Amino acid sequence: MPTPTSRLIELDFFRGLVLLVIVVDHIGGSILSRFTLHTYAMCDAAEVFVFLGGFATATAYRSLAERHTEAIARQRFLKRALELYRAFLITAVLMLVVTAVLTALRVDAPNLAITDLDDLLDTPAPVLGDLLLFRRQPYLASVLPMYAFFALSVPAVLPLAHSKPWLLLAGSLALWAIAPAVGGMLPIADGAQWDFNPCAWQLMFVLGVLVRCQPVYERISMHRDGWLVTALAITIVAVGAYYKLFIETAPMDGSLKQNLSWLRVSNFLAIAWLTAHMIRAGWAKKLAQRLPWIGQVGRKGLLCFVAGTVISLVVDSLLYKATEGYLNVPLGLVADAVAIGALIAVAKASAPISRVFAPKLDNPSSS
């Protein structure tokens, strides 16, 4: 077990890997995205991202509480919510600016039509008000509002994760179950939507917190019937892969992702269980040590997410214009290389930039 102030190299590696996957997954003509998680499973990188966010949050909270006090840990995550709100506004503005620049350059791509630029030009004051209140969430910025709510919930969630984990899990499951019904109560502008219903996706965040705070994997894997869980996980992963590859190859209904369907949850948990075996065997640590640039992206999580939205939108739009929307393997691979290289470059050059987004982003206690 690492000391409270040390970083988990595997956590940084997986966070970096999922950020790189998110970037290529949002490039329509990407070749690498044909081989990422969503191709073989009924879940995708979003589940991994939110789960790891919960895990990292629990790590950061415990580190702060042990080195300082619970009060300081709570204050840090209230501040974190403000940082996420600021990052959302910056991302929203960047989406609008990039759209305006590409449009001025006569770049026409489908994703440029869903960034709210036209509405902003028609009615600037109401649209800006909607952005401030989360009623509008421009393309690729939609994950940050729910993260801000998760950060606000940390002072209540983390103590329960340690003292009453079953109560926390029961409450999280109950909220997830009614999430589609209460989703309509979220602030929303006409014609807009929350791509991620936070009442549903909080389950993935809470699961990440619980796995970090409680020895879930150790207890189950050491039980005499623990092998049954592994067998079930393998079966679920295999069935999910068969379904996606040979039965339902088209994208799944958007509401299943928006409200985090049980199919996505079960498929992710099966993959996570098998990944935990890989971590225990030391494979993940060896990969992290051999590919340190991936961990560097993971350590700059918030900054790289914001930068990744811009990179994805720019590369996707330029690739669409170059190929007229048709799949082109050589250009698709070039686009992947440019996108990945750009995100790695951001991580490497991020020391001064990170202060704009989160002053303590590089601190071991940062979530």
The 10s digit of each residue's pLDDT in 227-266 is: 999 999 999 999 999 999 999 878 888 899 999 999 999 9
> To which H or E segment does residue 258 belong?
helix 254-258
Least Cα distance to 277 among 240, 226, 236 occurs for 226
Over the chain, what is the mean pLDDT?
91
pLDDT reported for residue 217: 94
297: CB partners within 8 A, 6+ apart? 15, 16, 19, 20, 304, 343, 344, 347
What's the longest Cα–Cα distance across the chain?
65
Residue-range domain boundaries for the chain:
9-357
Q: What is the pLDDT of residues 132-169, one digit of tens each?
A: 999 999 888 999 999 999 999 999 999 999 999 999 99
Query: Taking the CA of residue 286 as centre, how many other CA atoms within 13 Å lie in the half-sphere pointing to its CB?
Result: 6
Q: What is the pLDDT of residues 290-335, one digit of tens each?
A: 999 999 999 999 999 999 999 999 999 999 999 999 999 999 999 9
CA distances from 231 to 228, 234, 238, 278, 284 (A): 5, 5, 11, 15, 21
The pLDDT confidence band at residue 354, using thresholds 50, 70 and 90, is low
Least Cα distance to 150 among 130, 116, 131, 175 occurs for 175
Q: What is the pLDDT of residues 51-75, one digit of tens each?
A: 999 999 999 998 898 888 888 988 9
Least Cα distance to 154 among 272, 72, 265 occurs for 72
The amino acid that residue 287 corresponds to is L
Percent helix, strand, coil in the chain, to 5, is 75, 0, 25
pLDDT reported for residue 2: 43
pTM reported for the whole predicted model:
0.92
d(CA 144, CA 77): 14
14 pLDDT above the threshold of 70: yes
